[in-house]
Amino acid sequence: MIKYQLLCALEHEFEGWFKDSADFDAQAGDGLIECPACGSGDVRKAVMAPSVARRDRGARETRLADIKRDMGAAMERARAYVEKNFDYVGEKFPEEARKIHYGEAEQRGIYGEATGKEVKDLVDEGVSVAPMPGKKTDKAGPAKTAAADGKKLN
């Protein structure tokens, strides 16, 4: 595995792990790499210095805060994508996901609510599901879940 520092067209810097240089080239060529801050697919490798251990705790804390901010932005974009492109089925999520999985309903992306047990049962049956990132305003309750048989969850 190799870690690259990456830059998007807007100069947001982030890191990515790849099997090797060819793996990065293939993913970048297929448009599979996006900036976690802005969603841009125009991504390139940044000039990198060798990794040297340092004891500057302030820099480490700043970097961790940056990573947390970037991850939060990426999760918000993922949720917005699902809400825009998938059908909301509410508490009927487990039932509808099964219908789609078994060919009893049209294949499409859906999202809705499911309990932990319901999600486990779906996974045990081979139904492809993924947790949805929460909104800051979400209350505790059943987890929001998404399914996209035959589609990628970006």
Band of residue 73 on the pLDDT scale cut at 50, 70, 90: confident
Tens digit of each residue's pLDDT (9 = 90 or more) over 120-141: 999 999 999 988 877 655 555 5
Structurally, how many domains does the chain consist of?
Answer: 2
Q: What is the dihedral of CA 24, 29, 32, 37, to 10 degrees?
A: 80
Compute the average pLDDT of residues 36-61. 77
Is the pLDDT at 48 greater than 80? The verdict is: no
pLDDT > 70: what percent of the chain? 81
C-alpha–C-alpha distance, residues 72 and 89, integer Å: 25
Higher pLDDT, 153 or 26: 26
Q: Give per-residue pLDDT as tens, 105-117.
A: 999 999 999 999 9
Out of 15-29, 52-66, 115-129, give the one with best mean pLDDT.
Answer: 115-129
Both 63 and 112 in a single domain?
yes
Residue 144 CA to residue 124 CA, distance in Å, equals: 18
* 32 and 64 both lie in a single domain: no
Q: In this structure, are 106 and 67 located in the same domain?
A: yes
pLDDT recorded at residue 86:
94
Domain limits for position 89? 53-154
Model confidence band, residue 152 (pLDDT cutoffs 50, 70, 90)? very low
**Percent of the chain whose pLDDT exceeds 90:** 33
Length of the chain equals 154
Residues 2 and 77 in one domain: no
pTM above 0.75, yes or no: no
Residue 31 and residue 44 in one domain: yes
